[in-house]
Amino acid sequence: MSNSDYILKQCGACLGATITNINLTQELSKQVTESLVAALDTHQVIFFPEQDLTPAQQKEATKMFGPLRPSESFFDRLDDDPDIEIVINDEETPPTGTAKWHADLTWAKEPPAGTSLYSRKIPQGKGDTIWVSMIAVYDSLSERMKKYLDGLSAIHSWDMGLGGRQGILKKGVEHYMKHKNANPPIAQPLVRTHPRNGRKLIYVNPGFTSHIVNIPRKESDGILNFLYGLTPRPEFQLRHKWDIGTLAVWDNTSTQHAAVDDFFPLYRELTRVTFGGHGEPK
């Protein structure tokens, strides 16, 4: 099998593609890596099924999409490696917070460009992940609404009610306050332009966005709830059923995601690598 002969098949109406006939443990040519990056820019989330990756190989495969960056999420590190997290849910560690629509770390000055997630142990038929295209959400708005939203900013906060914060709090109040003080609330553009494909997208999420700047709170709540209500619409979504050995790579700028936590108390194990490269939101 030649990696230059990989097969790409679109799997969702407005986002998602599956890439087969490729082995990510092998060295890829510059031409192939550039085409895979272009595929991610176009399809927003791409899947590589039937891969057999060690954590080190997952990291190496992820590097083609952007520079690796240590994540500041609440997942544990794998063997104290700053670049790879391990996501384990079982009878003792139920999923917390990930079923809520969110993009990762939007409270950061320079949020992650994307993430790779590799499935190692999956409950059969359970634990799906759903992605939504925020480009498609923006495109669905009327021109009058787009004009109104353009130029607005919204506050994103580390200390919102995402369930994973409880895990940080368990490590002690001092540890919690250290993280909170290092990540003060930040204003981000409500409409962001993707730095690679130039498309406009809605850049607020119920996981981390508290309010819109410089408008009355009731008006802010109404606008945000309207936008949040578009995210669950199936025409903007892709629902992925995991198989062991699938690597998913998604664009954290243009998408949001939510886990379907229907598998408790069954065992589920994935490894997660974060990459940067999209800069500060504009």
| CATH H-level superfamily of 3-275 | Clavaminate synthase-like (3.60.130.10)
- Is residue 211 within 8 Å of 217, Cβ to Cβ? yes
Q: Could you read off the pLDDT of 105-124 as tens digits, one per residue?
A: 999 999 999 999 999 999 98
Give 80's contacts (C-beta < 8 A, 6+ positions apart): none
Give me the sign of the Cα torsion angle 159, 162, 164, 170.
positive
- Is residue 206 within 8 Å of 265, Cβ to Cβ? no
Domain borders along the chain are: 3-275
Give me the sign of the Cα torsion angle 86, 89, 95, 96.
negative
pLDDT of residue 169: 66
List the chain residues with pLDDT less than 50. 1
Q: Could you list the active site residues? A: 102, 104, 257, 272
Model pTM greater than 0.85?
yes
Side by side, the strands of the sheet bearing 153-156 are 186-189, 153-156, 209-212
The length of the chain, given as a count of residues = 282
Q: Could you read off the pLDDT of 260-271 as tens digits, one per residue?
A: 989 989 999 999
- Is residue 256 within 8 Å of 137, Cβ to Cβ? no
Reference 95, options 256, 247, 266; nearest CA is 266
